[in-house]
A and B are shown apart, each in its own frame.
Chain A
């Protein structure tokens, strides 16, 4: 069975700093997808970044980038030049290639301090 583990329940960093959120997963699948979702307080969840397992190149999206280590089954999210609006819960998610299994981690609550 697939699992997703986020080992940091809560983190705080100063505005403009860089922060890295950790995510590890376990699967026997070779074809799968990984996602980071952001859920701001009292607001809906939105996609931050997505990584296809067959791609070696790490995905980037403006200030957000991932470090995808397939052999280690690790998928961390780096936020550069953090902003107050980055304050949110961040969820790592795994999906099988066929889309028939979707599993979310328990989340990391990130606070960006002024």
Chain B
């Protein structure tokens, strides 16, 4: 069974440029999470989807970050414009359950460097 797929694995951009990350969850997993992980820190939740609905986006900086999960399968996280402080690893995770404490399966992450 394929795991959570993320692309790209690495991205280097200049500040003020836009960037997008893509995530394909495990087949059949209805809940999808995007996390931000700074160096040496634990993941911080940005947004959680149940199917195609964003049920928790309270930690998403909406002035520059946006996300979508069309058709309730794969998802895209966008930053526009990127700032130096956005340099981090962006993790995607999925779980089978909806509305419950399902085990999360993580992707390898996208490491973003903003110059």
Binding site for B on A (CB under 8 A): 4, 32-33, 35, 37, 43-47, 50, 91, 93, 95-100, 102, 104-107
Contacts and interface: CB of A to CB of B under 8 A. Distances in A.
Contacts of B41: 106-107
B89 to A, nearest CB: 10
A97 B99 CA distance: 9
A99 B102 contact: yes
Interface residues of B, number: 27
Contacts of A32: 101
Sorted from nearest, which 3 A-B pairs have the closest CB atoms?
A104-B42, A45-B106, A33-B101
Which label, helix, strand, loop or mixed, suits the secondary structure of the A interface? strand
A97 B53 CA distance: 20
A99 B99 contact: yes
A99 B97 contact: yes
Contacts of A97: 100-101
